[in-house]
Structure 1
Amino acid sequence: MKFRKTLTILPLLLSAIFVKAQMPVLKVQQANSDEQKKAVKLNKLSIDVQITGNIATTVMTMTFYNSSNRILEGELTFPMPEGVSISRYALDINGKMREAVPVEKAKATEVFEDIEHRRVDPGLLEKVEGNNFRTRIYPLPANGSRTIIVGYEEELGFNNGNALRYHLPLDYNQAIEKFSLKATVFESIIKPELGEQPDGSFDLKANGNTYVAEINKTNYQPKNGLTISLPKRNDLPEVQMQKASNGYYFLVNVFPKTQSRARQWSNQIGIIWDSSLSGLQRDTKKELALLDLIIKQKQNLTIQLGLLNNGFKNAGTFVISNGNWDLLKEKLNKIIYDGGTDFSAVNAKNFQADEYIFLSDGLSTFGQNTIALNKPVHCINTSLKADYSTLKYISQKTGGQFINLNATSTNDAFKQLSQENLQFLGIKNGIGIRQTYPSTNVNVNGHLSLAGILNGFNTDFVLQFGYGNTVIIEQPIRLNATEHTLTSIDVSRVWAQKKIAEMDIQYEANKDDISVLSKQFGLVARNTSLIVLESVDDYLRYDITPPAELRPEYDAILKHRRTELLEQKKDLLNAAVDMTKDLKAWWNTDFSYKQPIKGKEQYPTPENVIVQGAPGASESRYERSVQASQRSVDAVRMPPPPVENLKESENKNALNDVVVVGYANQDKRMSTGSVANIRGIASEPVANVDQLLQGKVAGVNIQQGTIRPTEIQPTIIIPEFKSDKEYMKNMVGKPDSAYAAYLKMRPNYISTPMFYFDIANWFYQQKDSVRALTILSNIADLDLENADLYKTLAYKLKQTGNYKEEVFVSQKILQWRPMDAQSYRDYALALADAGQYQKALNNLYKVLTQSYNAQIADRDEGIEEIIISEINNLIAKHGDKLDVKGIDKRLIYRLPVDVRVVLNWNKNDTDIDLWLTDPTGEKGFYSNPRTAIGGRISNDFTSGYGPEQFMIKKAVKGKYKIEVNYYGDSQINISGPTTVTAEIYTRYATGKEQRRVIVLPMAADNKNGNLVGEFNF
């Protein structure tokens, strides 16, 4: 009986995906009832805020209680303000808080999932797309609680006046059993002001130059957030220093008087309006208010409107006179937000202007995040879930400005855009300092914060401000360790955060340096995470340096036991070589089968006797000659077919004596490379045998060592998938009315992936592929870095022939999950679909040469069989265009087959089986992997993502039925039900193949097999 590895770690979304405030969003794994959906609550929350100078440190201690009787897994997402990175994470282990340590992001995910399978206590905090952070906690014990600590440093910015502003949202949707909040402002010459507070009892009280406010509540739901304004004197620089191993880290804050010069807006402005689904999260009222100020100032101008989602379209030209832009405003207010986002769809050829205003969250979820425009692009963001780095990069590269309307008022943003602002231009006489950030020209707007490293004990230097290259203000700064050393904040981490933020604008060029820096200073970046492990053995096993509390024990064990504890890594190459031998043996086996004649008794056929060294009765001279011809040509077309391809009893000189037989019973003996005239088949002589085998002779098909008349491909019949969901009843009539019905229903299903999948499928069936792709691409906007969702999306893009988008989506999955063999395979096959054959071959080979941990290697045992088939198919089809020097020659072997079916699915820890019933009625499946007629089922995957494969070298006549057996799915999560994709091939690797792709959501209640398709050979 088949053993099933069934895990209970399955996600369920408890909060809306589209957040309206900068609040943590809680997801909890697995729930089978409404009661369980509400089982986990935040029952304790303690927040400590400390502000020194312009740096605020916020530490949140959260305790979650699971009132259900099931062990769950938690996931908490934090949208962070611009420039803020989480620098502290701790999780309770055996009743005591344990601090996290930094590690490479992909490794952290791999380790977390491996440990999770062992039912111990890992914790993981990672940065996902944009400036969003995600915490994964396991386990949340039944009728028990877990506590986490999250801390971050924030560099405060100026508000409307001469004051820094700190804001903490407290918009919790439930009362908290125990709530405490404490805020401390250190060394403030002027008393801070409370602009917003949770309730009237929160008040800042002075203790010298330090101000403290604190509340402790039970069963409390805050009414408001916390906002603190800290007035600053512009004549008094603030300096903080921290001792380092060599010199000092320093942080300087100066407040130069705002000076600006008027800037003239161009007469031709292009507005790029992000109309993707995520646009629903933007504050469009603020955006329209900003546009109103710009247009009212300019009065007369021409505006080109472009709408951007998964594509880009020019939505019209609007000539504005006397500041009247009612028509444009009406158009913007009626925009339908739909689809994913592809920044690369914008280019200057189809959208020309003298400068552009780009209103977006910066998240390009369905294409590359670059815009091909060479005029200034001013990027405006109002979304709390945003990619600030991308928006800054676009602005800086084009000479525009970046405005974060979440951090500034509309009026201040208008002033910044409409004026040539005072800029920080650099440092004069800075001999004793180095590594200062910002290192490029930046707008000042009343405040500059500069961090760097002082080589000695003290020094003096000058900050320069001005316009362009003209210096108009100089600010002298004195650094003296005796006067300025403070210990209330970690200045070195502020410096590292500023350096990483600047490097992140060009992430690809700086990702290695970012990784080194973030690990050294314990910061979470795009490619680093914070992880908590349960035991010292786990830190040793995965080669991760533990936190300080475990270092003595770790160091002691390290000397004696590290080698035996270290997680062993291995690749799949040796297994692939063995598998290739197995495939060769299978392919060269004769599975002769005779169709039974109705009404006549069938008798067993005796095996033929072959006399060594002489032709046997079962093998005619004709057959041997044709086989020798095939081998000779294969030797030319493919990397050398191994000698084992030849029967030992054959004379090796047969390679030089080739007979090509025509179907008019004409034959002609010739030497290899001579010209053969195929009488009765071709009217022109054939130049060479290779040309014949490549199918270049009309009416001839060469396959498996024989010459046949061209055969008609069997028709593959795939049942049309139609969802039975309730919402599909409204999808009737013409596409226009159906689209209106979809938009009307969407608010009720806005975070349901299968809603978009089903509706898109309906539009594909109506041949409206443009609307279908837009609706399908919404899946990319639903969640951040969700590989399950993106796999579903990639499958459907493959099926519908959207190969460029398939490459982008599968590359994202590889970026997020490089620890999975399937990530390389999916990306490679997408590249092959898009015609990038060399990159496809290289990535397929990586599947076999990457190193995997033991758990993943065991999970994916048998994937080598699928990869070998696909490598050899690529070489057979495109060998003349490929460099195969880097491929182990032991893997190269021509394996053409009549039938190949391969199955993948989108979720880890899922058990799905491929069934194929042949014309004799025999079913090939996991417990019957070799059928009588030569059918071959690959290794059974009881977890992981698959794939599973069926192949048959020579198909017998009759009907073939393909089914998927799905062992149920209690997974209810943002990525929806498990989705499978089946690729069905006939004449695979022959140069004459056909392929059909089907994508199916699995029905959990169907245990008798889901029909995928059938065909007659």
Structure 2
Amino acid sequence: MLQQTVGRMAGRMMAVMLALCCVAGAARAAAAPQIMTTIGGERPLRLQNLDIDGSVSGGMALTRVRMVFFNPNQRALEGRLQFPLLPGQRITAFALDVEGQLRPAVPVEKAKGRQIVEQLERRRVDPALLEQTQGNNFQLRVYPIAAQGTRTVELTYAEPLEREGANWAYRLPLAYGEVARGLNLRLQLNGADAAPQASGTLAELAFARRAGGYEAQIVKEHVSLDGTLKLLLPASAAPRSFVQQFDGATYFMAEVPLPPLPPAASRGARVLPKVVGLLWDSSGSGANRANAAELVELERYFKALGNGEVRLRWDRSYPKDFFYQPPPKGGVANEPSDGMPPPPPPRPLAHPVPMPAPIMAPSWQREKVIVAGSRVAQGDLAYGALAPAGPAGPAAESAVVAATNVLQRAESKSSTPGTGEIGVSLQKWRADAPYIARLQAAGTDRLYAIYLDERPSYTNSSAFFLDVADLLFERGQRELALRVLSNLAEMDLENRQVLRILGYRLMQAGAPELAIGVFEKVRELAEEEPQSFRDLGLAHAAADHPQQAVDQLYEVVLRPWDQRFAEIELIALAEMNAIVANAPRKAALDTSRIDPRLLKNMPLDLRAVLSWDADNSDMDLWVTDPNGERCFYGKRFSYQGGRMSLDFTGGYGPEEFSLRHAKPGKYRIEANFYGSTQQLVAAATTLQLRLSSGFGSGAAQDKLITLRLKGRGETVLVGEFEVKPK
């Protein structure tokens, strides 16, 4: 009966998937994916040459991988290299070719490394950033890869080898796909007494005796690589020591074999339990796992178990603690698929070292990254930390003075808006992607099934998941819509732009508690951007957490920001005061740390705020009043008192239109894609518009909409305010 149950379970759980990593007993995976990707290129980047040097000394190994990538397109592109490592492998060095020579990188704190790279990119300097994302996966950003040109990347990683019986096991991942010109692989086994046993990819390697060990080399032209090369090296039964000189320091390692464990028979066989709990993670992140191999392992275990009870939990909402900690009251539900139980948390890494380490030295912590740039003096990399928030310091005082001036100008006008009833309507927005017609034609009961059928073709498209979620919300399928949105959390790990899209759409869906956890992750990733604090503050406000909202928005008011975020503190100040003025008395807000000069509410009849997800992009907010007068970046003040905030040309926004007294009539709200200087060409930019009537008063009403603009010059009508006469 148990075997029948397992058979039914296997039938329900089986899906066609690609294996991303090696699992014991797995069938041979499909063709290896492209490791260097880009967006917007007509043809994919090609791996032109692959040069691998491996050195094994006792139970330690050091591997250097040099890759030459070719851009066959007619324009320069940014490339993103996804470089997964096996458990225990640690990056110790990274170099990038700059003006024809490999330039070694230096390790810096992860957040600061990304800030440095983005600042250099805005200055048109060509840096590279290697960072660890989640688990043991590394991502490398390289710009530019010139049209019809090449870039060379060199990575070095070290690892302690695992024992398999009397042998050390060395594994070399080779899932590089097509290598256009050729492969050059060299392996050196220091101190080896016998040739190793080779299996897997390139197992035809022939090892020859050399002084102090064994060596092998293989050269191939136009080769397709996949899988892993495995070497079993006889371990020495006697103690050994190894010494290495590196950067003026001497490192040593001693290996002392331990006596073998007693035979399993003498220890006694482990008694298998008769009740087994099986948690099956059916989220979308499991779609690339070796599902068939997992079922084989389960079948083996159940056969050994014999008769017993299996309690299966098909879990679609297991909290992914390896991605981010969900808020206390819940987290984003994960997308169903045939997956596998969650992995254990990653093992902590060794202590950091100031420079790329040799084979015997430890690697830096997970929070470190390595940055390489061109024409950059060492001083450029000494990037200072953000100043602590607080009233002390010239930057904070300057912000207070500027904000006070705005408040005084507002006080000089009539104190309370007085208008008739205000209606807010949103223009229905619909994408024109190929899958839309099929999804729209499906009945409500079939919509989710059609989505699952289309999903494999759009797993890397945030637009696809947003469009499907919109349709599900329209059909009243809220839980399914939230589940579909959760795919964005795992699309591109640690991509703050994608996470912002997810947070904005959760806010639009009336799920601020879920958005809080997402925006907390964004703040962790991008503390140098004021939008990270503002978005989190507004999410707390929507979730009725006024104290947390005020605290986050006040950070925007006082912290020193890059000049490209000019006057964002004024927008956050207005939002903070609106929350303070309308917080329920029982909330007992603590505003003692706020400069009293800044505590002044500024109610408005109409307010429109535009934000977007793309850095280095310029979106514009247009508002046309009943007189036909358009307020925008080129005409920031209207005849009847409308005001447009400063033009945001460097990414994210917000841009704000405010009107204290609105005359009767209709006000058209439009969004325009002015331009972009992004180096990574994106398919579309996602915008969020918040339209508010009665802002800052107890009768305030907000409506949010998320939409996308595809290219420069595109303009869309977002919605309208209709002000009725008294």
TM range (shorter): 0.7 to 0.9
Q: Secondary structure at 1:262's aligned position in 2?
A: coil
Aligned partner of 1:916 in structure 2 is: 623
**Alignment check: 8 A CA contact 2:35 2:176 kept:** no
**Alignment check: 8 A CA contact 1:88 1:522 kept:** no
CA distance in 1, matches of 2:33, 2:364: 17
Report the alpha carbon displacement of residue 242 of structure 1 after superposing the two structures with TM. 6.3
1:118 pairs with 2:118 = no
Output aligned runs, 1:10-29, within 5 Å.
Answer: 20=20, 25-29=34-38
Determine which of 302, 317, 326 is the counterpart of 1:367: 326
Sort the Cα spacing of 1:368 and 1:127 in 2 relative to 1 into closer, same or farther, 3 A: farther
Q: CA RMSD in A?
A: 3.4
Report the alpha carbon displacement of residue 990 of structure 1 after superposing the two structures with TM. 1.4
Deviations 1:962-985 (A, max 9, x none): 111112569797975111111111
Aligned partner of 2:313 in structure 1 is: 306
CA distance in 1, matches of 2:373, 2:354: 22
CA distance in 2, matches of 1:712, 1:252: 84
1:868 pairs with 2:579 = no
Deviations 1:40-85 (A, max 9, x none): 3221211000011111111011112223332222221111111222
1:221 pairs with 2:221 = no
Deviations 1:479-502 (A, max 9, x none): xxxxxxxxxxxxxxxxxxxxx537
CA distance in 2, matches of 1:74, 1:236: 48
Q: Secondary structure at 2:79's aligned position in 1?
A: strand
1:158 pairs with 2:6 = no
Determine which of 514, 524, 527 is the counterpart of 2:367: 527
Task: Give the AA of the match of 2:582.
Answer: K
1:989 pairs with 2:696 = yes
Sort the Cα spacing of 1:575 and 1:914 in 2 relative to 1 into closer, same or farther, 3 A: farther
Determine which of 639, 660, 680 is the counterpart of 1:932: 639
**Alignment check: 8 A CA contact 1:59 1:150 kept:** yes
Aligned partner of 1:715 in structure 2 is: 423
**Alignment check: 8 A CA contact 1:25 1:78 kept:** no
Sort the Cα spacing of 1:1005 and 1:251 in 2 relative to 1 into closer, same or farther, 3 A: same
**Alignment check: 8 A CA contact 1:797 1:805 kept:** yes
**Alignment check: 8 A CA contact 1:965 1:1010 kept:** no
Task: Give the AA of the match of 2:567.
Answer: G
Report the alpha carbon displacement of residue 94 of structure 1 after superposing the two structures with TM. 2.4
**Alignment check: 8 A CA contact 1:913 1:966 kept:** yes
Deviations 1:252-302 (A, max 9, x none): 353542445433344433211111111111112222222223322332332
Aligned partner of 2:293 in structure 1 is: 286
Bigger mean CA offset, 935-944 vs 732-741: 732-741
1:390 pairs with 2:390 = no
CA distance in 1, matches of 2:226, 2:410: 72
1:739 pairs with 2:448 = yes
**Alignment check: 8 A CA contact 1:752 1:976 kept:** no
Report the alpha carbon displacement of residue 824 of structure 1 after superposing the two structures with TM. 1.6
Task: Give the AA of the match of 2:593.
Answer: G
Aligned partner of 1:790 in structure 2 is: 499
Task: Give the AA of the match of 2:129.
Answer: L
**Alignment check: 8 A CA contact 2:130 2:139 kept:** yes
Output aligned runs, 1:824-839, within 5 Å.
Answer: 824-839=533-548
**Alignment check: 8 A CA contact 1:103 1:544 kept:** no
Aligned partner of 1:183 in structure 2 is: 187
**Alignment check: 8 A CA contact 1:752 1:974 kept:** no
Q: Secondary structure at 1:945's aligned position in 2?
A: coil
CA distance in 2, matches of 1:389, 1:283: 17
1:141 pairs with 2:100 = no
1:811 pairs with 2:520 = yes
Bigger mean CA offset, 973-982 vs 68-77: 973-982
**Alignment check: 8 A CA contact 1:179 1:218 kept:** yes
Deviations 1:300-322 (A, max 9, x none): 3322222233x26xxxxxxxxxx
Aligned partner of 2:199 in structure 1 is: 195
Give the % identical residues. Answer: 30
**Alignment check: 8 A CA contact 1:50 1:186 kept:** yes
Corresponding pairs, count = 674
Deviations 1:490-523 (A, max 9, x none): xxxxxxxxxx537xxxxxxxxxxx6678999783
1:903 pairs with 2:614 = no
Determine which of 747, 772, 779 is the counterpart of 2:488: 779
**Alignment check: 8 A CA contact 2:20 2:289 kept:** no
**Alignment check: 8 A CA contact 1:105 1:529 kept:** yes
Aligned partner of 1:236 in structure 2 is: 238
Deviations 1:649-686 (A, max 9, x none): xxxxxxxxxxxxxxxxxxxxxxxxxxxxxxxxxxxxxx
Q: Secondary structure at 1:920's aligned position in 2?
A: coil
Q: Secondary structure at 2:431's aligned position in 1?
A: coil
CA distance in 2, matches of 1:370, 1:163: 49
CA distance in 1, matches of 2:189, 2:210: 10
Q: Secondary structure at 1:883's aligned position in 2?
A: coil
Sort the Cα spacing of 1:522 and 1:903 in 2 relative to 1 into closer, same or farther, 3 A: farther
1:61 pairs with 2:75 = no
Report the alpha carbon displacement of residue 926 of structure 1 after superposing the two structures with TM. 0.7
Output aligned runs, 1:841-880, within 5 Å.
Answer: 841-852=550-561, 857-878=562-583, 880=585
Deviations 1:582-639 (A, max 9, x none): 4224423548xxxxxxxxxxxxxxxxxxxxxxxxxxxxxxxxxxxxxxxxxxxxxxxx
1:31 pairs with 2:40 = yes
Aligned partner of 1:587 in structure 2 is: 410
Task: Give the AA of the match of 1:730.
Answer: R
Report the alpha carbon displacement of residue 218 of structure 1 after superposing the two structures with TM. 3.0
Larger Rg: 1
Determine which of 162, 167, 192 is the counterpart of 2:171: 167
Determine which of 412, 435, 452 is the counterpart of 1:727: 435
Task: Give the AA of the match of 2:57.
Answer: T
Task: Give the AA of the match of 2:223.
Answer: Y
Output aligned runs, 1:38-57, within 5 Å.
Answer: 38=44, 40-57=45-62
Aligned partner of 2:8 in structure 1 is: none
CA distance in 1, matches of 2:712, 2:148: 30
Output aligned runs, 1:354-503, within 5 Å.
Answer: 363-364=322-323, 367=326, 390=345, 500-501=348-349
**Alignment check: 8 A CA contact 1:83 1:501 kept:** no
CA distance in 1, matches of 2:70, 2:159: 29
**Alignment check: 8 A CA contact 1:571 1:849 kept:** no
Deviations 1:395-454 (A, max 9, x none): xxxxxxxxxxxxxxxxxxxxxxxxxxxxxxxxxxxxxxxxxxxxxxxxxxxxxxxxxxxx
Output aligned runs, 1:743-754, within 5 Å.
Answer: 743-754=452-463
Q: Secondary structure at 2:429's aligned position in 1?
A: coil
Determine which of 66, 70, 75 is the counterpart of 2:80: 75
Report the alpha carbon displacement of residue 921 of structure 1 after superposing the two structures with TM. 2.1
1:541 pairs with 2:380 = yes
Q: Secondary structure at 1:203's aligned position in 2?
A: coil
Sort the Cα spacing of 1:210 and 1:284 in 2 relative to 1 into closer, same or farther, 3 A: same
Deviations 1:713-743 (A, max 9, x none): 5221112232222212122343221111111
**Alignment check: 8 A CA contact 2:132 2:139 kept:** yes
Output aligned runs, 1:499-648, within 5 Å.
Answer: 500-501=348-349, 523-535=363-375, 537=377, 539-543=378-382, 573-590=396-413
Sort the Cα spacing of 1:516 and 1:62 in 2 relative to 1 into closer, same or farther, 3 A: closer
Report the alpha carbon displacement of residue 388 of structure 1 after superposing the two structures with TM. 6.2
**TM score, norm. by length of structure 2:** 0.85
**Alignment check: 8 A CA contact 2:285 2:339 kept:** no
Sort the Cα spacing of 1:273 and 1:992 in 2 relative to 1 into closer, same or farther, 3 A: same
Sort the Cα spacing of 1:208 and 1:249 in 2 relative to 1 into closer, same or farther, 3 A: closer
CA distance in 1, matches of 2:258, 2:55: 21
Q: Secondary structure at 2:583's aligned position in 1?
A: helix
Aligned partner of 2:389 in structure 1 is: none
CA distance in 1, matches of 2:330, 2:549: 27
CA distance in 1, matches of 2:279, 2:647: 50
CA distance in 2, matches of 1:168, 1:766: 50
